[in-house]
Amino acid sequence: MKKPKVAFFDFACCEGCQLQIANFGEALFDILGMIDVVEFREVMSEKWNGQLDIAFVEGSITDFHAEERIRQIRERAAILIAYGSCAAIGGVNGMKNTFDLEEIRKYVYGPEYHFFATEKTKAIPQVVKTDYVITGCPVYPPEILVVIKAALQGTSCSPPDYPVCVECKLNENVCMYDRGVACLGPVTRAGCNSWCINNGNICYGCRGMISNPNERGAREVLEKHNIPLPFVVNKMNLYNKCRE
């Protein structure tokens, strides 16, 4: 079988999710044995302008130029994967949408701000048809492998639609609410194996919200612990502002 041609592209992001690939260490050789990486600017100067079997796209769309570029990538790619939270749900770049664009440009760049164009942040699925989504900030390495396998075999695969709490309970962590702090686990998509809580911190909601959260249950938890709803909504906006 001919190895599928795979490329990595990035838009507004930190490129940490691409780095997660390099962080596979020597196991990277096994992955490279299955695919033919033709473009991956984080580690390669080689360039490929032809058709792609799989395009990994990292980052959010934040200007017209980017929107044009992602449409071109979509045309070239049989399968397009939104890779990482910035691509999948807009991620931290979405916080910009809380502000007036003219005002925030002026704040960062001063009187010369007109040199620096920007548009409202959008996630990749808000601009082009997306075949697979790998969410997370950063992506969780075992999940990358699951989605790569599904994409190579042409089977369907999407991030779990149950909350982080499910995995957190299996990991026997003490609930953050019982430790006196608010956590976004109850409304956030699982699939990260409750990475942050296992390391003693709260869930910041980086993987996006589940489609049908138990709102009444969540409200009860907030009431019980005397946490105002706007406080938690503001926390959700850290990664999920683009949902609006």
Partner 1 sequence: MNKRNVVINVEYLTRVEGHGNIVVDVKEGTLEVCRLDIIESPRFFEGMLRGRSVFEAQHITSRICGICACGHTLASIQAAEDALGVTPSEQTVKLRRLLLHMELLDSHILHIYLLVAPDLLGVKSFIPLIDTHNKVVRRALRLKQTCNEICEILAGRHVHPISATVGGFTKLPKEKDLDAMRYMLEGMRPDMEATIELISKLKFPEFERDTEYVALVSDTEEYPLLSGDVGSTDGVRMHKKDYRSVANEFVVPHSTAKHAKLSREAYAVGALARLNLNYEKLHPHAREAASLLGIRPKCINPYLNTAAQLVECVHCLEDAAMLVEDLGKSGIRQEERILVALNEQSAIPVRAGNGVGAVEVPRGILFHNYEIDEQGTIVNANCIIPTTQNLNNIEHDMEKLVPELLDRSDEEITLALEMLVRAYDPCISCSTHLTSVRIQR
* Contacts for 115 with CB less than 8 Å, ≥ 6 apart: 109
In the structure encoding, which two tokens stand for residue 58, read together? 């990292």
Q: Is 158 in the site for partner 1 (CB under 8 A)?
A: no
Q: Is 165 in the site for partner 1 (CB under 8 A)?
A: no
Q: Is 28 in the site for partner 1 (CB under 8 A)?
A: yes
Query: Are the CB atoms for 57 and 15 separated by under 8 Å?
Result: no
H-assigned helices in 81-207: 85-88, 101-109, 141-153, 164-170, 195-198
Per-residue contact track with partner 1, 108 to 147, x per CB under 8 A? xxx-x--xx-x------------------xx---------
* Contacts for 77 with CB less than 8 Å, ≥ 6 apart: 7, 51, 52, 53, 54, 55
Q: Is 20 in the site for partner 1 (CB under 8 A)?
A: yes
Q: Is 62 in the site for partner 1 (CB under 8 A)?
A: yes
Q: Is 104 in the site for partner 1 (CB under 8 A)?
A: yes
Query: Are the CB atoms for 80 and 74 separated by under 8 Å?
Result: yes
* Contacts for 166 with CB less than 8 Å, ≥ 6 apart: 160, 190
Q: Among 208, 55, 48, which residue's Cα sits nearest to residue 128?
A: 55
Q: Binder to partner 1 among 145, 160, 204, 222 (CB under 8 A)? A: 204
Q: Is 236 in the site for partner 1 (CB under 8 A)?
A: no
Footprint on residues 67-86 left by partner 1 (CB under 8 A): none
**Residues interacting with partner 1, by CB under 8 A?**
10-20, 22-26, 28-29, 32, 37, 41-47, 62-63, 65-66, 91-93, 95-96, 98-99, 103-105, 107-110, 112, 115-116, 118, 137-138, 176, 179-183, 195-196, 198-202, 204, 227, 231, 235, 238
